[in-house]
Amino acid sequence: MSETTASLSGIRNCFGSECVHDGLDLALPSGRITALVGGSGSGKTVLLRTLAMLHEPDAGSVELFGVDAGRCGERRRRELREGIGMLFQGGALFTALTVLENVMLPLQEHTRLRGAWLKELAMSKVLMAGLPADSAGKYPAALSGGMVKRAALARALALDPGLLILDEPTSGLDPISAAAFDALVRELTDSLGLTVIQATHDLDSIWRGSDQVAFLARKRVLAMAPAAELARRDEPELAAYFRGSRSAEYAKLHAGLPTED
């Protein structure tokens, strides 16, 4: 692993007496797509929120772009935030604004661009996210589920973030749209040099759309490696996840493993 864009160390997150993370370590290599995988309730979203500085961990440190986010001042934290693009699970588009205005908002807030040039840059993000040009003037209520995800991606990309955090980007999409979304993330990662972490349940995204998989279990990142490698490991959680009936075909196809039954 050459360079890391972001890393978590010794993270503990508790809600009341219930801890979802305890002593969790994770390092995201630059320019790679990392899939965050784990059962429901294993704390994927909380982990992403911790990484995005939306949730203060009870213990441990968050390092972003080489800066300890927990220890720096409000100004520095603001700058760090500009370097992070987050796609929320439900899109979280501002319903009172059109798609284009949603994308323009972070640009207006954090840059000196104005007028036509600002609009054009926002428009380029909308197009890069794979939306048709005429959708830019629409309000989120008029968009389909897949278009909402793409519009949210366009907004997340607005400031050319170094770190892109995607919370279940392909959930609720049909397989074709999901595959297109995966391809889009890959293309953007390569051309813009992004570092991406995506929480996902989508087997296609895990096996084909990611460079490596971070597997959450036992309140920490149990393992981090390409999916094919994880599928060969013998920890019970990994075996259940990667060789269970739904994953078996993928395991056979990509890792040359025999199916279990």
Partner 1 sequence: MRLEDSSPGRATMTLGGAWVLAHLTETLPRAVDPAVSPGTLQLVGRASVLDSAGALAIARQVARWEEGGWRVDMTSLPESQHKLIALLKSRLPDMHLPSAKREGALARLGRATVDKLVEGNAFLGFIGELVSRGGRLLLVPWRIRWREVVAEIEAAGLRALGIVGLLSFLVGMVMAYQAGATLQDYGANVLIVNLVGIITLREMGPLLTAIIVAGRTGSSYTAQLGTMRITEEIDALRAIGIPPFDILILPKVIALILVMPLLAVFANLMGLLGGSVVAAYRFEVSFAVYFDRLPEVVDLTTLMLGLIKMPVFAIVIALIGCMQGMRVAGSALAVGRATTISVVQATFLVIVIDALFSVLYNLLGY
Binding status of residue 157 toward partner 1 by CB under 8 A = yes
Binds partner 1 (CB under 8 A): choice among 2, 40, 116, 258: 116
Q: Is 120 in the site for partner 1 (CB under 8 A)?
A: yes
Q: Which of 16, 17, 74, 134 binds partner 1 (CB under 8 A)?
A: 134
Of the pair 47, 188, the CB lying nearest partner 1 is at 188
Tell me the CB-side half-sphere exposure of residue 130, using CA atoms within 13 A.
19
> Does residue 155 bind partner 1 (CB under 8 A)?
no
Other CB atoms within a 10 A radius of the CB of residue 236 amount to 8
Residue the block writes with tokens 């994953």: 247
Residue with tokens 């995506």: 198
User: Taking CB under 8 A as the rule, does residue 3 contact partner 1?
Assistant: no
Which amino acid, residue 107? L
Q: Does 180 bind partner 1 (CB under 8 A)?
A: no
Region of 32-40, 111-119, 205-213, 239-247 interacting with partner 1 (CB under 8 A): 111-119
Exposure string of 19-55, with b = 16+ CB inside 10 Å and e = fewer, is ebbbebebbbbbbbbbbbbbeeebbbbbbbbbbbbee
Q: Which is nearer to partner 1, 43 or 161 (CB)?
A: 161
Q: How near is the Cβ of 89 to partner 1 at its closest, in Å?
A: 15
| Chain residues 192-211 in contact with partner 1, contact rule CB under 8 A | 192-193
Beta bridge pairs of residue 12: 59
In the numeric block, which tokens belong to residue 124?
Answer: 């380029």
Q: How far is the CB of 13 from partner 1 (least distance, A)?
A: 28
Locate the DSSP E strands across the chain: 4-15, 18-29, 33-37, 59-64, 67-68, 84-87, 163-167, 195-199, 212-217, 220-225
Q: Is 66 in the site for partner 1 (CB under 8 A)?
A: no
Question: Given the rule CB under 8 A, which residues bind partner 1?
Answer: 95-96, 100, 111-117, 119-121, 123-125, 127-128, 133-134, 136-137, 139-141, 157, 159-160, 190-193
